[in-house]
Amino acid sequence: MKAVVQRVAEARVEIDGEVVGRCGRGLMILVCAMGGDTEANAEALAARIAKLRVFRDDSGRMNRSILDTQGAALVVSQFTLAADTSRGNRPGFAAAAPPETGERLYEHFVAALRAGGVPAETGRFGADMAVHLINDGPVTIPLER
């Protein structure tokens, strides 16, 4: 699985003008299931993100996790993280998991994040969403599992 994790002051996702998910101080997580990924990949990625030390400690160093700060996450499915541009200017997405598998692993990832103690809201898999966020830092970290 691939993810792009952004430390945010706040984030929300809207569908047709309706807010369907939001978080305050915490993480905006864009996530994509790749072909061959399993539930184990989703669980490992969720555990890694829950422990990722990207929040400042009392000395101003990035030394605290979302668990340490009692933050929350907004998780949005983003199959375009599987983009392959090696053959030209139009990205290909053949490396992404099929939609049914992608949705199952996306939901499993969110459940694993919650089970690990991170409050998480979501967008809607496959929907056309407007994502709003205030990036804090900015801090943006790409991850794979």
Domains of the chain by start residue, with CATH: 2-135 (3.50.80.10)
Per-residue pLDDT tens for 78-113?
999 999 999 989 999 999 999 999 999 999 999 999
Give the model's confidence band at 143: pLDDT under 50 very low, under 70 low, under 90 confident, else very high.
Answer: very high
* Catalytic residue chosen out of the listed positions 78, 85, 125, 140: 78
Q: Is 70 a catalytic residue?
A: no
Q: Is 80 a catalytic residue?
A: yes
SS (H, E, C) the chain: CEEEEEEEEEEEEEECCEEEEEECCEEEEEEECECCCCHHHHHHHHHHHHHCCCEECCCCCEEECHHHHCCEEEEEECHHHHCECCCCCCCECCCECCHHHHHHHHHHHHHHHHHCCCCEEECCCCCCCEEEEEEEEEEEEEEEC
Per-residue model confidence (pLDDT) at position 55: 98
Q: What is the pTM of this model?
A: 0.96
Mean pLDDT score across all residues of the chain: 97
* Catalytic residue chosen out of the listed positions 55, 79, 109, 122: 79
